[in-house]
Structure formats: structure tokens, C-alpha cells
Amino acid sequence: MKSNRAMVDRGERPDTTFDLAAVGMAFVSLDGVLLHANPKLCDALGHSLDEIAGRSTQDLRHPDDAEAALQHIQVLREGVVQSATSEERLLRRDGSPLWVAVTRSVARSPSGAPLYILEVMHEIGRYKRAEEARERDLAGERAARIRVELAEARMSRLQTITSELARALTPTEVADVVLRQGLAAVYADAGYVALLGEEGVIELLLAPGYPEEIVERLRRIPLTAALPSADCIRTGRFLVYDSQETFCATYPDAPPQRWANTWVIIPMKVGGRTIGALGVTYVDTCRITQEDRAYMCTLAQQCAQALERSRLYEAEQRARLAREEALAIAAHDLRNPLSAMTLVASSMMRAAPDDATGQWVRERAQKLKATAEHAMELLHNLLDAAIIEANTLTLERERCEVDALLAEVAEIHAPLAEQKKIGLGPRPLGRAAVTTCDRGRVIQVLSNLLGNALKFTPAGGAITLSAELDGAFVRFSVADTGPGIRPEDVPRLFDRYWRPRAVRGAGTGLGLYIVKGIVEAHGGRVSVDSKLGVGTTFSFTLPIKPIEHASPRNARKGPR
């Protein structure tokens, strides 16, 4: 209390206003010692004046605010400013914070020398609590908005993954899509896809972000290995390790991964079977939320289904190649015997006498020849279909005059049309037009379409074989007055081995499939227009100028 007496001796004793003020007030020495405090401030702090007078004001402030208050006093003492206000926290007797707005000013002597600092303190606890509540609400709103935006971004990414997985054919392509898109969606630094193969061996398909030496050690591991991917596949459990200590303690034999701190391993399941594991790795220690878990499980499910599809696709490809190889061998072995049968039958027909016995021989030989020729045709169709399916159809292009092609095909089929009493009328362009194509293959297409028209058009009907220019293409058409095709059958007409129910039992169902393959190899397009009871028109286009590298699967499409 000596300081207080000194103030009194100098005639600076606090007056009644100081003691009765409704706000906290204090006199503070220039070196930060509390000289005097009014009852309002003492009550607010829970101390008596004797307990706090003479103490450093730093002891009464919250540690986080003490340094700023000291700097505040320093600039006042040096005369940089005459008064200033700041928000600070004082400490009550029980240690709880008391928020106040402190206005400080310097009392000076007549000569201008600083004497002490006057502090006036308004309690702002209610305001600060309201402000903190607003901040919490805003923070909650921001967090909710971030969660919504994150969920939307992840959903968009998932749609992209689904789209790209539809085009992924091999397991490696599947893994690339899931890791490239999925790791970005969960903000991971590295990851891997491990697939359980034959004989209990786990194969690492891809591991972006992992050091190459670790990838090499984990490329092929047994299912019995004490490693995260093997453990996940064996148990089918979602595994999370969020520290180096936990990971190393669980898998002491695992390759050292000091660069990472969080590991997540998700089982990939199909039909209740765990076929592999999706690994997600973070450099930092991360908290994996329920939303993260759900998204990672969805990624793993997408990956598992796509991997199963790729397995089925590869198995189908292997089976198809084996089938095509077997067909090619069989065709090669059958072609010579069938040709020999045709020659023998022709020789028998020429050598048979003109009597009744010879007639019987000629009839049998004719049936034998027809059967051999039909078998040869089926064999050629099977081979053509195999070539088209394998995308290896080659074309021997030459310049062909359009009207000449129409005339040649009409001439070939005229006898059969006359026999069936069907009118066959070619409708030429009537002017010179040339297309560059494989003449034999185009005649095969026209003959196939014309043969079908002759097969289904009744006696007395008509078939028109025509051509017209369509921009940079020539459109060939075969129109008949047959019974037409049911609308539900039209979309499948060009499918391999498919035949309408009404005509099943004849042919292989390859004719229109071959037509489509040959036309698309030229860079054209085939179409059909049919009405029940009216007739059917098959059309296809050929480019006037050749389109290089066209194939049945990737040819540039002609006009509809």
C-alpha cells in the first residue's frame, strides 16, 4: 500500500468516482505493477485489494494475452499513443477467464513526464460468448458446406470412375482407373491394387506413389504372408493403421515404409468372395471418417466388379481365339475333301449313260454336288466371320464402275429369279460413277442381300437392285416385295449366328453379320428398312474415295 500513499502524498488519491465506478478501474505503474484497483474490479476478479495490490499485472492476465498487454503498455509509456483500447482476458481467483475491453491512458506530471497508467475495464463476457457462439455456428456451417462439396466432388469422381471402368478391359487398366481417380478423391498420397491369383498368390497390379523397391518386394506374395494385403484378403476385414508404431508392430516383416504414417486396406469382394485388396496410403497421420470408409468401400466394390468383368472378358477372348484357331484348322482340312467331292460328282454326271440307270446316277451326283457346294459355302461363311471377328479382314481395292457391279450381280442371280418367277430389275445410275473397293467382297455383299431377297420373296414378287450417289458415298440398295421383317427382329438382324424365329433351321445366321463386317471394313454403313406385308430394303454405303485403315470395328461411319 506504500504506492497508494505515494499517490496520496502527491495529491493523487483516487476520488469517490473511482471507488464507486460501475466499471473496473486500476492504476498501474509504468513498470506494470498494480497500484490500486476499485471495488468493481476486485469483485470481478474475486480478490481483495490487499491480495492484488503490488502484484505484477502480468500475473492477473491470461498467458495468451500477457505479451500483447505488455507491448500495449510499452507504446503508451513511450508516448507513441496517448490512449488505446484492446480486448483481453484477466484471470479470476478460480482460474477462469474474464473477458474485458481495456482502455489505457497515461497520467503525466505538469512537466509532461509519465507518472502511471489508468486502466478502465468493461466486462464483455456476454458479447464474447455470443461472438464465440456465432463463430461456432459459422464454423459448423462451413464444415457442413465443405462436407456437401466434398460429397458432390466425390460423387462426380465416382461417376467418372464408373464411366472409365466401362471401357477398361484388362485388370491393369481397371487398377489404373481406380487408383488414378480414387486416390485423388480421398486425397491419398499412394495406393495399390492387389489381386488374388491362382494357387493362393497375390499379384500387385499397380502401386502408384510407392517406392520401386517396395513394389518389387510385394509384386507377388503368398496368401499366407504376414502383410497387410494378405491379411485383408484372408479375413475380408477393413483395416486401418494410423501410426508407424502400430503398423510396424502388426507387420514386423513388412518392407520399411518410414515415408508413410496412415495405411488403409479395403477388401474387394464379389459374390461373398474376397478377390483382392485396395490399399490407400497417406504420408501424414490422418483420421479416417465414416464418410471416408463408405467411399473407399464403394471404390473397392467398383474395382472388384470391374476386375471380375475383365477376368471374364480375358477368358472369353482366350476361348474365342481357341475356337477360331480350331475352326481355321478344320476349314483347312475340310476344304480339299469338299472340293474333291464336287469334282467327283461333276465327273459322274458327265460320264453317266443316257439310260435310266444313268439318270439315276446323275440325280444322285447332282445332290452330292449340291451338298458339297452348300458345305463349302457354310465353311467360307464361318471363315469370313472368324476373320471379321478377329478384325483381320483385308481388302484388295480397285476402281469399280457402279453400274457394272449392279449388272454383274443381276446377271448371276437372273436364272434363279426366273425359276422362282420373281421379277429382278436392276436400276442403274445411268451415268459414270466409280468407287474404290474390293470387287469380290462387294459382289459377295450384293449377292448375299439379293440371295436373301430371292429366298423370302414369293412368286410373282419383284426385287429391285439399285444405286444412288449420297454425298461422298454411293448407296447400294436391294428392295423386295416380300413379307417384311418384324420390328422387334430388326435390331438383331446383323448379330452373329442370329436368325429370326420364323426361319430358324436353315443357314448359319452369319450372312448379314458378314455383310456388315465387309461394308464397315470399306468405311461404309449398312441399314435396313422394312414394313410387314409391304417389303424390305437393305442398303449399304461405300465411299467414292477409299478410307484408309477402315475395319469392321473402327471404320468411319458412312451416312445413314
In the predicted model, is pLDDT for residue 323 greater than 80?
no
How large is the average pLDDT for residues 482-507?
74
Can you say whether residue 391 is alpha, beta or left, with left for phi > 0 and alpha for psi between -120 and 50 degrees?
A: left
Q: What is the pLDDT of residue 427?
A: 87
For residue 140, count other CB atoms closer than 10 A to its CB. Answer: 10
DSSP string of 241-267? Answer: E-SHHHHHHH-TTSPP-TT--EEEEEE
What is the phi/psi pair of residue 14, to 5°? -55, 140
How large is the average pLDDT for residues 203-220?
93
Q: Is 335 exposed, middle or buried (0-12, 13-18, 19+ CB in 10 A)?
A: middle
Q: What is the pLDDT of residue 508?
A: 60
Q: What is the pLDDT of residue 549?
A: 45
Average predicted confidence (pLDDT) for the chain: 85
Q: What is the pLDDT of residue 190?
A: 95
Predicted confidence (pLDDT) per residue in 95-143, tens digit: 999 999 999 998 888 888 888 889 999 998 888 888 888 888 777 777 6
Q: Are 309 and 171 in contact (CB under 8 A)?
A: no
Query: b/e for 424-435, b at 16 or more Cβ within 10 A?
Result: bebebeeeebeb
In the predicted model, is pLDDT for residue 554 greater than 70?
no
Predicted confidence (pLDDT) per residue in 270-322, tens digit: 988 999 999 999 999 988 999 899 999 999 999 999 998 888 877 777 777 77
Q: Are 286 and 242 in contact (CB under 8 A)?
A: yes
Query: b/e for 52-90, b at 16 or more Cβ within 10 A?
Result: bbeeebbebbeeebbeebeebbeebeeeeeeeeeeebbb
Least confident interval from 304-318, 446-460, 465-479: 304-318
Q: What is the pLDDT of residue 8?
A: 38
Q: Is 356 exposed, middle or buried (0-12, 13-18, 19+ CB in 10 A)?
A: exposed
Element (H, E) at 441: helix 439-456
Query: Cell numbers of 167, please?
Result: 471401357
Q: What is the pLDDT of residue 499?
A: 66
Task: Using alpha carbons only, give the angle 233, 237, 242 rounded to the nearest 5 degrees.
Answer: 105
Query: Cell numbers of 481, please?
Result: 416385295
Q: What is the pLDDT of residue 11?
A: 42
Q: Residue 303 and residue 176: Cα distance in Å, rounded?
A: 10
Q: Residue 184 and residue 173: Cα distance in Å, rounded?
A: 17
Please, how many CA atoms are within 13 Å of residue 510, restricted to the half-sphere of its CB? 17
How large is the average pLDDT for residues 440-451?
92
- Residue 424: strand pairing partners: 463
Residues in the chain: 560
How large is the average pLDDT for residues 5-12?
45
In the predicted model, is pLDDT for residue 555 greater than 50?
no
Q: What percent of the chain has pLDDT over 70?
A: 90
In the predicted model, is pLDDT for residue 6 greater than 60?
no
> pLDDT-based confidence at 10, cuts 50/70/90?
very low
**Within its chain, how far is the Cα of 259 from the centroid?**
29
* Better pLDDT: 28 or 383: 28
Q: Residue 411 and residue 105: Cα distance in Å, rounded?
A: 118
Q: What is the pLDDT of residue 500?
A: 65
